[in-house]
């Protein structure tokens, strides 16, 4: 369909039909771009990067086919990100919105799979409760603190210096590959010197 031929009223009706939020104050050209992005056919294969509502994309996937999910969900910031308005009526609407998507994530994740959710501290506790319900609290693996910016001066409250990475597995059969790094030369040199001093002192 050529959306450029639609009237402003028809474009807004199309937005409502597609479940697009925050379209009421958009200009005609903005609405056309948003609808074009939302209306693109979904093609799932190994060579494509897809843009769209993740719940539409993930429903195309079979059960237990994904090894790792990295999820950077909406934060309910009430900001307009052009093709998505990060604004919900209340806490319950936001929680239900995320639950639907996390149930789908659980469905497609392999028994050995892992999900990592990147979220800010202000709402990270919601995700712990939701994921305890969906994945099981015994499948909580870790919460990683990722240091971010925070150099800006703030006269009214403490600055936020980190994001949270919440990690769950689907079962206790999670695949985990530990990473090991060689010691650098400076470290090895210092260790050898300290060892030599210890031997000299104690011999």
Q: In this model, does residue 150 exceed pLDDT 70?
A: no
The domain total for the chain is 2
Range 104-107, long-range pairs (CB < 8 A, 24+ positions): 104/55, 104/58, 104/59, 105/58, 105/69, 105/71, 106/134, 106/135, 106/170, 107/63, 107/64
Same domain membership, residue 33 and residue 52:
no
CB-CB contact of 111 with 171 (8 Å): yes
What average pLDDT does this structure show over 55-71? 90
Do 54 and 98 belong to one domain?
yes
Q: Are residues 32 and 54 in the same domain?
A: no
Rounded to whole angstroms, how far apart are CA atoms 27 and 12? 10
Q: Inform me whether the pLDDT recorded for 83 exceeds 70.
A: no
What domain range is 24 assigned to? 1-39
Q: What is the rounded CA–CA span in Å between residue 177 and residue 180?
A: 10
Measured on CA atoms in the order 22, 156, 91, 81, is the torsion positive or negative? positive
Same-domain check for residues 157 and 116: yes
Same domain, 34 and 53: no
Stretch 12-18: mean pLDDT: 78
Phi then psi for residue 166, to 5 deg, are -100, 130
Decide if pLDDT at 157 tops 80: no
Q: Is 96 helix (H, G, I), strand (E, B) or coil?
A: helix
User: What radius of gyration, in Å, describes the C-alpha atoms of the chain?
Assistant: 24
How much is the pLDDT for 195?
Answer: 75
What are the residues facing 89 on neighbouring strands? none
Share of the chain above pLDDT 70, in %: 85
| 64 and 110 inside one domain | yes
Q: Kindly report, residue by residue over 88-127, the tens digit of the pLDDT.
A: 889 999 999 999 999 999 999 999 999 999 999 989 999 9
Same domain, 35 and 54: no
CATH of the domain at 143: 3.40.50.150
- The answer on 131 and 168 residing in a single domain is yes
117 and 147 inside one domain? yes
Is residue 43 scored above 60 in pLDDT?
no
Same domain, residue pair 70 and 149? yes
**Whole-number pLDDT of residue 141:** 96
For residues 87 and 122, membership in a common domain is answered with: yes
Joined together, the tokens standing for residue 202 give 């104690």
Residues 4, 29, single domain; the answer is: yes
Cα(158)–Cα(175) distance, integer angstroms:
38
């Amino acid at each position: 369909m050529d959306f450029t031929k639609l009237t402003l009223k028809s474009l807004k009706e199309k937005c409502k039909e597609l479940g697009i939020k925050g379209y009421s104050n958009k200009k005609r050209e903005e609405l056309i771009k948003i609808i074009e992005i939302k209306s693109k056919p979904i093609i799932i294969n190994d060579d494509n990067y897809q843009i769209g509502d993740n719940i539409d994309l993930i429903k195309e996937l079979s059960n237990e086919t994904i090894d790792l999910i990295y999820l950077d969900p909406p934060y309910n910031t009430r900001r307009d990100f052009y093709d998505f308005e990060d604004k919900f009526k209340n806490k319950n609407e936001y929680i239900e919105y995320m639950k639907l998507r996390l149930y789908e994530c659980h469905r497609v994740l392999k028994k050995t799979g892992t999900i990592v959710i990147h979220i800010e501290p202000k709402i990270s506790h919601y995700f712990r409760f939701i994921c305890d319900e969906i994945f099981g609290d015994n499948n909580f693996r870790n919460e990683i603190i990722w240091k971010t910016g925070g150099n800006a001066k703030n006269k009214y409250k403490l600055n936020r210096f980190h994001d949270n990475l919440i990690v769950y597995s689907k079962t206790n059969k999670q695949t985990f590959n530990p990473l090991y790094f060689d010691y650098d030369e400076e470290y090895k040199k210092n260790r050898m010197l300290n060892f030599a001093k210890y031997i000299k002192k104690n011999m």
